Chains A and B, each alone.
Chain A
Amino acid sequence: HRPRRLLHKASGGEGALDAAIWLYQFCLIVLGDSTVGKSCLLHHFAEGRFPGPAKTDPTVGVDFYSCLVEIEPGKRIKLLFWDTAGQKRFRSITRSYYRHSVGGLLVFDITNRSSFDHVRDWLEEAKMHADPFQLVFNLVGHKCDLESQRQVSREEAEELASACGMRYIETSAKDATNVEESFTVLTTDIYELVKNGEITAQDGWEGVKTEYVPDAVHTLERAYSPGEHCPC
């Protein structure tokens, strides 16, 4: 089974109803220099489309997205994203969100050398503020549709990624290359860590949450179908 994003922005309230059912909830942060395309990438993933040709304003402070991913048939994970501003002046705001993340995407622009050079700084900052678990990051080389303007080679980026224990993936929100993959791969990795108990939900930590009391379901079934046995 290939993990896939579930679009739930249906009209009416069914979407919201539907979105309330999940096995795990992960909070993910998206980091990187200003203008590397974090918001576009996220917008594309969560809303299913590129925000449009109009030049978007830089993110103010932090933005929020959420969506559902079906990781295995019938097993859904709700993803909450902190879309952070790349601009330095908002750093004090964005810093607050490291702690409540389980992982994230570290994005740079393959046509912008300095955004790549800052990757280690971002990692360093994330490391400093992560608690109780170190964040699981994927390195994303964004805007790979602009091959002719490339300033960072794939090899170079892969080297850095493996040195820092990350996967590397190249994406383009514009022509929808690897957008979904970049998120589902990360989600799958975190899901495995959670399943193996390497990351666990903790009180006072938003990063990972587990589903709602399954007991209630049984109580409900008993209440509704007396004498009938639960098939599972």
Chain B
Amino acid sequence: MSQKDNKSLEEDTCALDENDQKAEDTGPTETDDVEAEPAAMTRKRPESKTSEPSAMQEALDQKVQESSSIKQSQTGWGYWGNWGKNLLSTASATVATVGHGISNVIEKAETSLGIPSPSELSSEAKNVTEECQNSAIASDCKGDPENPSPSITGAFGMFSTISTAVQNTGKTVISGSLDALEFIGKKTMDVIAEGDPGFKKTKGLMNRNSTLSQILREAKEKEEQRTATEVSMATETKAHYGLLFDEFQGLAHLEALEMLSRESELKVKSVIGTLSGAELDALKAELEQLKEAFSLAEFCDDEEDEKEEGEDFTREIKGLFSQLRVSTKPDKLTQARSSACELAHSLSMQTAKEERPKEVDQQVGFGDAEQEEKKSVEDIHASAIRSLAELTAYSIEVFHKTAALVLHGQEQEVLATDRAKALSQMTIVLCKELSFLSKGFATCLTAAGVEEKGDVLNPLITGVFLEASNSASYIQDAFQLLLPVLQLSHIQAQAELTQ
């Protein structure tokens, strides 16, 4: 074991202790049969780090330099300008804000699977060393003679040492990583309790400078990078939401929508700039009225309507879509939703069969489903994530197409406020559906995983809920991008009237 390795191991182990301390500060945790790794299986919603203090900024800058492609993408789409600030400040959609320490744990676990930026590591290490000096537990782990795997450094250093530390120092460290799981669990409980994943009013994208697509693109590229370097062993990448979302062209449609939104916003501003006095006040009042339709406020504490199922979604979406009077149909979306439901249904059938083997014969007798091979919980998880990504991508495509048609279509006889209301209703329906689907998948997972250990099953279930929650936020953020578009169309319609 080289001196250097030893040192970095110590530092990394202490990193856990740091969180461990935090966990103790925040009180006891309940479960203790869970290890650190599962945190990496779930994915915190990617967040822009631009509002972080300078140390983080540095790390980010470095990352950008390290990967030319990421840089390209940032500046590339920056070609269309850096506009997110104003617009996104109106966004009501959100993520749960994550405690700093907790997000560090998750992030670390994530980045350590990929390539942690050196500056990130060193600044982390610095903090940690300071922490170590005051920490009695830290000296415990320092003195641990069985600190193995000296060879594991570099890209995997952090990850390996996390698990090493878990093995070696036992309960104390475990409770540190539990911090992360506790958050996820809590989040999941919230999701289950509310049934409305994305609708918690917290600070999400509000103070950010980058656009949602930039954030998602960064996350996707990070994942691609990771994938490219460790194809052989990245089992959990199998179900990476970001890559799947991109595969369904969700990112491309989101970027296109952002572009239209930004252009509209500029035009609206320039129109406002030309007005004054009563005209200006009148327009401002009208635009404000439009904005109200975008608040989604009435949805926050909606009644629990679990009953709706089946064709309701398709009918509802189609109905709302016809109110928009745009010459496009949400067929892809409704089909994606149907196949997602079918999938959830067939999965639950499959697990039901397993539970009651006697029924299997009957089912086969009916010629039902050509004796599908048993799906593992990982497979179910992967299909669930895939369905969520598909549905979200198509939702955003629908918004993008709607924006294009509102701006460039020939049909303007519908009031912008009516369109806004229909779209807002559609957003709600979509988010409910995501929540409904995630519950369905979670039920399948629970049923299929009765024999699995909690540390295998739980991260998969929380993963589904988290991605459903993220999906709902993306849809709501995309919905907010439609506001300037409708504002502009309103102005255009008014102008046509007066002519």
A positions within 8 Å CB-CB of B: 11-17, 19-21, 57, 60-66, 80, 89-90, 92-93, 96, 99-100, 201-206, 209-213, 216-217, 219-220, 222-224, 226
What's the minimum C-beta distance from B7 to chain A, rounded to whole angstroms? 17
Contacts of B260 in A (CB 8 A): 61, 93
B26 on the A face (CB < 8 A)? no
B positions within 8 Å CB-CB of A: 66-69, 71-73, 75-76, 78-80, 115, 151-157, 223-225, 227-231, 234, 237-240, 243-244, 246-247, 249, 252-253, 256, 259-260, 327-329, 379, 382-383, 385-386, 400-401, 404-405, 408-410
Give A133 to B67 CA distance when docked, in angstroms: 23
Given contacts A13-B244, A13-B386, A17-B231, contact A213 B225 (CB under 8 A): yes
Cβ–Cβ contact B410 & A89, under 8 A: yes
Contacts of A209 in B (CB 8 A): 69, 72
Contacts of A66 in B (CB 8 A): 247, 249
Interface Cβ pair total, 8 Å cutoff:
141
From B67, B157, B243, give the contact of A16 (CB < 8 A): B243
Contacts of A63 in B (CB 8 A): 249
From B151, B227, B249, B401, give the contact of A20 (CB < 8 A): B227
Given contacts A19-B243, A206-B72, contact A13 B382 (CB under 8 A): yes
From A92, A96, A216, A226, give the contact of B408 (CB < 8 A): A92
Cβ–Cβ contact B154 & A223, under 8 A: yes
Contacts of A212 in B (CB 8 A): 67, 69, 224-225, 228-229
From A11, A20, A201, give the contact of B228 (CB < 8 A): A20
What's the minimum C-beta distance from B175 to chain A, rounded to whole angstroms? 28
Cβ–Cβ contact B383 & A21, under 8 A: no
Give the residue among A13, A96, A203, A222 with the most B Cβ atoms within 10 A.
A13
6 contacting pairs across A/B (C-beta < 8 A) = A12-B383, A13-B385, A16-B240, A61-B404, A61-B408, A211-B228
**A57-B327, A210-B68 known; 8 other A-B pairs, CB under 8 Å?**
A17-B227, A20-B227, A90-B408, A93-B260, A93-B404, A204-B79, A206-B73, A209-B69
Give A219 to B224 CA distance when docked, in angstroms: 17
Give A203 to B382 CA distance when docked, in angstroms: 35
Given contacts A21-B227, A89-B408, contact A61 B401 (CB under 8 A): yes
Contacts of A220 in B (CB 8 A): 154-156, 229-230
From A57, A65, A205, give the contact of B249 (CB < 8 A): A65
**A21: nearest chain-B partner, CB-CB:** B228
